[in-house]
């Protein structure tokens, strides 16, 4: 009788004991921050590297020794999800919100512009006393107020917003000896692009900032085109790997080497122990999935598992995380910022997160947090559609496109659609989706407005990637081909006054007549060892256009100007009132027919 009476008390004492252990674990893990020494934070985000594109995840073709070592030293997440494409993932990472909620739903056409009202990870860390830096791919806006330097990052080095070769990038950049945007100014750097970014990152680590730092290091690799400065980097794979995949793997190998160098710099600088190091990718795999995809179905852009499950490793030696352990609970990119706010004791964000902190799981990896349903989608349509390219996810289930249900625990390859066998599961996820849609859909296709004439921006550079069209010329090679498309730009004039609008068929650095074809001067490029560059990074042929007239429309202002065969550009000086307006410039032939939009437009406010 006495034993029966004691059983509830024993059970209660055991629960209290384990609770105390958990609290002590958290206290130990936060002893550095509680003493005033906040940790540094580095996030490494690779581009198009799938879950299966690492040897530590079972890939038999590629060797990634430094990623593997980081894997062994980290808490690694095996059920971690992002969006199926890059810009949406970056928006969710930066805000802790679903990308659709933050206004990012595409990679071009203005759909990649993170709403200016959103606070970013850079803003949050800066407001909490951190030194902030961003090296690499931003892809959330190319003009004020959307650039990294406008979103909380004090130091910024990058190529074009969406990558090397995109329309706001330097015209003949090819990832070797390129021109970069450095804090809003053009600047040339010698070397291979991923090396340049990692070198800048290592220089940043070596500095004595007198305060903790947050660094976002977003490689443009291994995203295509799969270029490397030396073909021998890909030739090591021989005939066992197709050539395009060998070049893709070579890009990953170069990142892997640089991660090893960065870790050594952290160690020699004495900053390794109190630095939170995160490694992840921006979407599922694409180029390498036909060789190895870790047993998953799907790839980049798709709602199946292979399109959005990615590697996620986190290491913090002084934080006493459960290094070497795995978190199997469902987690996502929207959880990273809330976790870092929690882990680093940052000032709270002024906006509410869609994600939640997984701090507890960094100390107790086997812990499952409160059950929830997460959603990822890839809607590139100009009118959002419910369940378009969408997956609803729980720890056990995946409802894909609202028509396919998979038991991801017992069917990780998503081969057996069991939607008819589990109506209760489907009904629950659909109910959760209604709440998700209510959250993300208001104003979800709101047009971003570049601010023109602001004192923080010397010049606005408009390119066709931001035309609000279903298809846009998003890289220089498509422009060089003379794509017969024409669009407009929505802008906000910050001050009334006279604005100089310079319209061009080719960007300034090409220094080419509107009716001509550029010549190249670079002598080393990422495609061949010898000889001059004979093509742009994306490889299309160049086309001369028979332009006779350039037109400009800005609000009620309309003007047209005839051009000669030697004119490289046309200048319009326009008096504009303060407020929202739309800009469109077009190239016409001798018959007055539209050939295409004037692809490049530069705007400066006149004194």
Q: What is the pLDDT of residue 131?
A: 98
Q: What is the pLDDT of residue 26?
A: 45
Q: What is the pLDDT of residue 538?
A: 86
CATH top class, domain 450-605 = mainly beta
- Helix, strand, coil shares, percent, the chain, to 5: 25, 20, 50
Q: What is the pLDDT of residues 305-357, one digit of tens each?
A: 999 999 999 999 999 999 999 999 999 999 999 999 999 999 977 789 999 99
Count CB atoms within 10 A of the CB of residue 16.
10
Q: Which two tokens stand for residue 546?
A: 């028979």
Low-confidence ranges of the chain (pLDDT < 70): 1-36, 521-534
DSSP string, 509-552: GG---TTS---------SS-SSS---S-TT-PPP------EEEE
The pTM assigned to this predicted structure is: 0.93
How far is residue 255's CA from residue 321's CA, in Å, rounded to a whole number? 25
CA angle, corner 137, sides to 131 and 143, nearest 5? Answer: 85
Q: Where are the beta strands (DSSP E) in 268-401?
A: 275-281, 312-315, 326-327, 331-332, 374-377, 390-393, 397-400
CA angle, corner 57, sides to 55 and 63, nearest 5? Answer: 5
CATH 3.40.720.10 for domain 40-370: yes
Cis preceding linkage at 222, omega within 30? yes
CA angle, corner 406, sides to 401 and 411, nearest 5? Answer: 145
Break the chain into its structural domains and give their ranges.
Answer: 1-37, 40-370, 450-605
H/E stretch holding 16: helix 2-29
How far is residue 596's CA from residue 29's CA, in Å, rounded to a whole number? 59
Closest Cα to residue 118, out of 140, 133, 134, 85?
140
Q: What is the pLDDT of residues 111-120, one digit of tens each?
A: 999 999 999 9
Strands 40-46 and 75-77: unpaired
Q: What is the pLDDT of residue 522?
A: 64
Q: What is the pLDDT of residue 1?
A: 44
* Residue corresponding to tokens 């860390």: 125
């Amino acid at each position: 009788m006495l034993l029966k009476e004691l059983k509830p008390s024993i059970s209660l004492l055991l629960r209290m004991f384990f609770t105390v252990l958990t609290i002590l674990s958290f206290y130990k893990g936060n002893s550095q921050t509680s003493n005033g020494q906040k940790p540094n934070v580095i996030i490494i985000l690779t581009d198009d590297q799938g879950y299966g594109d690492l040897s530590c995840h079972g890939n038999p073709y590629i060797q990634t020794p430094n990623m593997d070592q980081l894997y062994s030293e980290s808490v690694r997440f095996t059920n971690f999800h992002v969006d199926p494409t890059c810009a949406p993932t970056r928006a969710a990472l930066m805000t802790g919100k679903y990308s659709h909620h933050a206004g990012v739903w595409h990679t071009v056409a203005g759909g990649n512009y993170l709403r200016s009202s959103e606070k970013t990870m850079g803003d949050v860390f800066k407001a909490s006393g951190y030194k902030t830096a961003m090296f690499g791919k931003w892809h959330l806006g190319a003009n004020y107020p959307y650039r990294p330097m406008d979103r909380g990052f004090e130091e910024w080095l990058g190529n074009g917003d969406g990558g090397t070769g995109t329309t706001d990038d330097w015209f003949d950049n090819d990832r070797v000896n390129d021109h970069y945007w450095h804090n809003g100014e053009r600047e040339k750097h010698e070397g291979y692009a991923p090396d340049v970014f990692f070198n800048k990152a290592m220089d940043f680590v070596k500095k004595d900032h007198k305060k903790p730092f947050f660094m976002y290091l977003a490689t443009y690799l291994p995203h295509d085109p799969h270029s490397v400065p030396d073909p021998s980097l890909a030739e090591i794979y021989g005939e066992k790997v197709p050539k395009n995949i060998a070049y893709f793997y070579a890009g990953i190998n170069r990142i892997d080497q640089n991660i090893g160098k960065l870790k050594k710099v952290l160690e020699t600088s004495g900053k390794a122990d109190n630095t939170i190091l995160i490694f992840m990718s921006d979407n599922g795999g694409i180029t390498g999935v036909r060789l190895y995809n870790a047993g998953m179905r799907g790839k980049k852009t798709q709602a199946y598992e292979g399109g959005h499950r990615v590697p996620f490793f986190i290491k913090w030696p002084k934080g006493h995380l459960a290094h070497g352990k795995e978190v199997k609970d469902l987690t996502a990119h929207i959880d990273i910022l809330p976790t870092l706010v929690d882990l680093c004791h940052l000032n709270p964000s002024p906006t509410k997160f869609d994600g939640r902190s997984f701090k507890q799981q960094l100390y107790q990896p086997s812990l499952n947090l409160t059950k929830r349903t997460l959603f990822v989608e890839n809607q590139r349509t100009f009118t959002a559609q419910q369940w378009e390219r969408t997956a609803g996810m729980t720890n056990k289930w995946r409802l894909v496109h609202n028509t396919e249900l998979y038991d991801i625990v017992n069917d990780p390859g998503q081969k057996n659609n069991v939607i008819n066998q589990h109506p209760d599961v489907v009904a629950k996820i659909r109910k959760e989706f209604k709440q998700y849609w209510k959250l993300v859909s208001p104003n979800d296709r709101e047009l971003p407005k570049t601010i023109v004439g602001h004192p923080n921006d010397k010049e606005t550079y408009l390119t066709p990637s931001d035309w609000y069209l279903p298809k846009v010329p998003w890289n220089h090679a498509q422009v060089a081909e003379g794509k017969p498309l024409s669009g407009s730009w929505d802008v906000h004039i910050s001050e009334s006054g006279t604005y100089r609008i310079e319209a061009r068929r080719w960007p300034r650095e090409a220094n080419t007549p509107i009716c001509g074809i550029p010549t190249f001067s670079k002598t080393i490029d990422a495609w061949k060892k010898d000889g001059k560059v004979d093509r742009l990074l994306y490889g299309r042929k160049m086309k001369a256009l028979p332009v006779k007239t350039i037109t400009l429309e800005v609000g009620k202002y309309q003007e047209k100007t005839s051009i000669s065969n030697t004119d490289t550009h046309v200048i319009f000086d326009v008096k504009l009132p303060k407020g929202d307006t739309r800009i469109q410039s077009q190239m016409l032939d001798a018959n007055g027919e539209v050939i295409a939009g004037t692809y490049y437009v530069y705007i400066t406010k006149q004194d």
